[in-house]
Amino acid sequence: TWQAPLKPVELYHIRYGFSPTSLDKEVTVPIDRVERFDHPAYGPVYRYRLLDVPSDRDLYVSLKAENSLGSSEPSAPMKIAANNTDAL
């Protein structure tokens, strides 16, 4: 299971695409652009909306966190099912 670094995260690098083996797009997101909310079952949850993806296709994403000490390893690709508005 992927986890963010123990020190505060400054940036997230999000790689994404339509295949788990072809994450051909990337966006770097400062922490102040990431939405945080408390989920009743999972606790703190963070969300960033990717606006340039069609809602009718499965999407695969990989996360990497960065702070002043360096970067985490990227997560394994995670699938977000088409039309899953809860994940967006």
Sign of CA dihedral 18, 21, 23, 24: negative
Q: Which residues pair with 27 in a beta bridge?
A: 14
pLDDT band at 46 (very low <50, low <70, confident <90, very high): confident
pLDDT, position 42: 87
Q: Is the pTM of this model over 0.85?
A: no
How many whole angstroms separate alpha carbon 69 and alpha carbon 18?
31
Contact 65, 9 (CB under 8 A): yes
56-73 tens-digit pLDDT: 999 999 999 999 888 889
Whether 29 and 10 have beta carbons less than 8 Å apart is answered as no
